[in-house]
Structures are given as structure tokens and as C-alpha cells.
Amino acid sequence: MTNALPTGADAATEVPLKRRLRRAERTRQAKALALVLPLLLFLLFTFAGPIAGMLWRSVEDWEVRQVLPQTVAALASWDGKDLPDEKAYAALASDILAARAAGTIAIAAKRLNYALNGFRTILTSTGRNLKAVPEPGTARETLGKINPAWRERATWTTIKDASGPITGFYLLAALDLTRNADGAIVAAAPDQAIYRDIFVRTFLISLGVTALCLILGFPVAYLLATLPPGRSNLLMIFVLLPFWTSLLVRTCAWIVLLQSKGVVNDSLHWLGIIDAPLRLIYNRFGVCVAMTHVLLPFMILPLYSSMKAISPAYMRAAASLGAPPLTAFLRIYLPQTLPGIGAGSLLVFILALGYYITPALVGGAADQMISYFIALYTTETANWGLASALGAVLLLATVLLALVYGKLVQGQQVTGGMKN
């Protein structure tokens, strides 16, 4: 904009007006931006900042650095091929004595125990039994006597790997991977490799719920889009009322309906269909039923609006050209609902991926999704690095799917505009 000014300066009469208009426009734009700015700053503080903080925690590695600073410094030049030199042992002994005095050994022990099971004992027993600074030259011998683990290379590689300031440890752990003593990425030990299964479970539950929503939602959306407005508005209440009802109310209601002495089991028993109550809740079935119930409106509404936009003339044209009803439906109607199917399915799938409350309340231990573990590691076991890493993977999946969704919806608006 500023580059254009000198060339325009030759036409003496037009310039002031042009420039004034431009300046007015620029002020207007600045004012418009100033109106958006408070919200942007607010979201930076209450949303983007905290999430960035969580992402940072998934790679941050501060515990060992802070508790054993001299050891970290001494290991910086260690090539990891053989046992470290006497200097590193002396540094560790001095660090442990200082940490014991400050009461911080547990912090480093907790972090190192994530990487090598049993490290907590190694560090705390050493802290307990190391009475004083070893004589110069005897640190290796003294520590080795207290705990033979200090004579093993893997113990020291673990400390070096955890030296920070950043680490891929948690992100690798979230994908069931780890680094071996040589620094190569390998599969994690079977007892720690649980997260891939949880991600697969989360994915499968979300996929199943999306499919159920599509199967149940399609006929309803079709009915609502086809009926005359008066009746479809009335029926729409059946979709919107549950949509607006609190998630907790609906989850609570499903428990009342499905529990072993619940309404469904009682009715079936009364009708003589079953003798013993069926197990309908606190398992995968209950999770899928409750989640489908919560997410179904998110499928019906986009489907409805895409079907509403389809002119009945197309179907009449197909019929008049001799297409049997099924052919007309499959080849004319269905393809036009595809954008709605895509948008609705993606929306339901994205929302399902992050579900926490419903599985937590109506699922069993084997039905908990990834969000449950993020919450568990945050509040119960306080393994914040792992919680953040699992969160980072879930966030990445959500953002990628949301981008696809955005493209899809945007594309729909464009084609919708062209049709008009």
C-alpha cells in the first residue's frame, strides 16, 4: 500500500482524496482488529497458552537436571560406550548428598523410575547408605558397593537420557516405543506397551459410534427433510430436546435404564423374555449406547441440512427418465448427501475421540478411552509428562481431522452457492 503512494503523488488533484480514503480504510481495519484483539488475548491466556504449556510438558525434562546437576554436567562428555569415569561417580555422590539434604531425591527417583523400573530403589538406597563424600578416587568403588547397579552401563545411560532439557521419552512412550542403551528406538517392554492398544480402542469405539449414528441418523434426517415443514418442525423437537439436555442427565438416565435392576431388564423379565438380568452397562455395549445417544443429533443435523438442499426435481427427473426408485436413490439422491454424510461422520468421530465423561461413568475398566488415561496421569499418578504426551497425540489427531472437516464444510458452502 505504501509503495503505491509515490507513483500516485504526480496526479496532484486526485491524491488527497485517494490518500484520505486509503487512510480512512486503514483506520477502519485497525479499529476492526482492535475489536477482535481482546478476545484473541483472552484466548491466548485461557486456551492457547495452557495447551502450548501442555505440549511443552510432553517434551520437557527437568527433574534430573535440577536434582543431579553436577552428574548431568559430568555425563555431558561421556560417550556412553563404557562406564563413566571417576569424576562422574564423584559428582553423583555429591549430588545425592545435596539432594538428600534438600529432600529432592524422590523427584529424580520418580522420573528415572519411568525410564528404568527399579531405579527408585537404586537411588533411594544409595541416598540412605551414602554417609559422607567418598575419599578422592574411591567414589566408583563406594557407590558400587552400596548398590551394584552403579557398575552397570544401563543405569548411567538412563541418567544421561533423562538429562534434558528436552526429551522424546514421553512421546515415544505414548506410542509404545523407547530407546535402548544404544539410543536406537525400539518397542517398549510388553508391560509398558499399553497405549497403542488404548489408541486403537479409542479409534474403534469412535468408529463404531460414528457408524451407529449414521445408520440411525440417516432415515431420521431423510424423514425430517421430506416431511412438510409443520410436521418436521414438530418431530425436530425429539432431536433437539435430547441435544439440549445435560450430558450428565442423559448418562445418569442410561444407567437407570440399563443397570441390572434397571427399567430395561425389569421389563424384559416381566415380559418373560429373560430369566436372569442381562449385563447392559459398565461394558462396551453401555458405552456405545450412551455415546450414540449423545452424538446422534450431531449426525442428524448436518445430514438434514444437506438433504434439505436437494431439490426434489432431481428425483422426479430420474423417475421420468425411467430410473427405478432404488436406482434413482442410489445414483441421484445418495451422492448428493455425501457431503452431509462426510461432515456429520467427521464431526461425530472428532467429538467421540475425546470422550471422557460417558465412558468413565458407564464403561468398565476395559472400555476407557484415551482421555481417561490423560486425566488419570494428571490427577492420580501425577505423571504429567506422559499425560501431556498422550494429550499431544490426541490433539494432533483432532486437529488433523478438524482441518479435513473445515475443508469439507467450506467446499459445501462453495458448491451450495454455485447451485443457487
Partner 1 sequence: MSDNSSLRTPSQRIAWTATIVVSTLVFIFLMAPILAIMPLSFSSGSYLTYPLPGLSLRWYDDFITSPRWMNSLKNSMIIGVASTLLSMVLGTLAALGLAQWKSRFKPLVLAFVLSPVVVPGVITAVGLYFSFAPIGLTGSYLGLIMAHTALATPFVVITVGATLQSFDTNLARAAASLGASPLEAFRRVILPLILPGLASGALFAFATSFDEVVIVLFMAGPEQRTLPREMFSGIRENISPTITAAAVILTTISVILLATLEALRRRNERLKGGG
Residues 77 to 136 in contact with partner 1, rule: CB under 8 A: none
Task: Tell whether residue 354 is a contact of partner 1 (CB under 8 A).
Answer: yes
Rounded Cα gap, residues 165 and 259, in angstroms = 50
Contacts with partner 1 by CB under 8 A: the residue count is 90
Nearest alpha-carbon partner for 177 in 196, 162, 154: 196
Rounded Cα gap, residues 151 and 78, in angstroms = 15
Task: Tell whether residue 365 is a contact of partner 1 (CB under 8 A).
Answer: no
Among 59, 68, 96, 257, binds partner 1 (CB under 8 A): 257
Q: Residue 206 CB, nearest distance to partner 1 (Å)?
A: 11
**Closer of 81 and 261 to partner 1 (Cβ):** 261
Task: Tell whether residue 189 is a contact of partner 1 (CB under 8 A).
Answer: no
Q: Residue 7 CB, nearest distance to partner 1 (Å)?
A: 23
Q: How many CB atoms lie within 10 A of CB 300?
A: 24
Task: Tell whether residue 43 is a contact of partner 1 (CB under 8 A).
Answer: yes
Q: Residue 63 CB, nearest distance to partner 1 (Å)?
A: 15
Beta-carbon contacts of residue 163 (< 8 Å; ≥ 6 apart): 61, 64, 65, 72, 75, 76
Q: Residue 244 CB, nearest distance to partner 1 (Å)?
A: 4
Task: Tell whether residue 245 is a contact of partner 1 (CB under 8 A).
Answer: yes
Rounded Cα gap, residues 100 and 132, in angstroms = 11
Q: Residue 268 CB, nearest distance to partner 1 (Å)?
A: 13
Q: What is the DSSP string of 263-320?
A: HHHHHHHHTTS-SS----SSSHHHHHHHHHHHHHHHHHHHHHHHHHTS-HHHHHHHHH
Rounded Cα gap, residues 392 and 59, in angstroms = 10
**Closer of 54 and 108 to partner 1 (Cβ):** 54
Nearest alpha-carbon partner for 171 in 381, 391, 369: 391
Rounded Cα gap, residues 306 and 225, in angstroms = 9
Task: Tell whether residue 244 is a contact of partner 1 (CB under 8 A).
Answer: yes
> Which among 116-124, 143-151, 222-230, 272-280 is the span making contact with partner 1, rule CB under 8 A?
222-230
Contact 310, 336 (CB under 8 A): yes
Among 166, 248, 330, 414, binds partner 1 (CB under 8 A): 248
Site map (CB under 8 A) of partner 1, residues 46-65, x = contact = xxxxxxxxx--x--------
Q: Residue 71 CB, nearest distance to partner 1 (Å)?
A: 27
**Closer of 172 and 357 to partner 1 (Cβ):** 357
**Closer of 83 and 227 to partner 1 (Cβ):** 227
Among 4, 133, 247, 274, binds partner 1 (CB under 8 A): 247
Among 20, 28, 145, 308, binds partner 1 (CB under 8 A): 28
Task: Tell whether residue 217 is a contact of partner 1 (CB under 8 A).
Answer: yes
**Closer of 48 and 185 to partner 1 (Cβ):** 48
Task: Tell whether residue 416 is a contact of partner 1 (CB under 8 A).
Answer: no
Task: Tell whether residue 66 is a contact of partner 1 (CB under 8 A).
Answer: no
Q: What one-character DSSP code corresponds to residue 30?
A: H
Consecutive H or E run containing 9: none
Rounded Cα gap, residues 145 and 240, in angstroms = 71
**Closer of 127 and 164 to partner 1 (Cβ):** 164
Q: Is 166 helix (H, G, I), strand (E, B) or coil?
A: strand
Residue type at position 211: A
**Closer of 228 and 417 to partner 1 (Cβ):** 228
**Closer of 109 and 361 to partner 1 (Cβ):** 361
Rounded Cα gap, residues 33 and 61, in angstroms = 39
Site map (CB under 8 A) of partner 1, residues 326-345, x = contact = x--x----------------
Nearest alpha-carbon partner for 251 in 364, 369, 357, 372: 357
Angstrom CA distances, 323 to 90, 316, 330, stand at 88, 10, 10
**Closer of 100 and 269 to partner 1 (Cβ):** 269
C-alpha cell at 99: 539432594
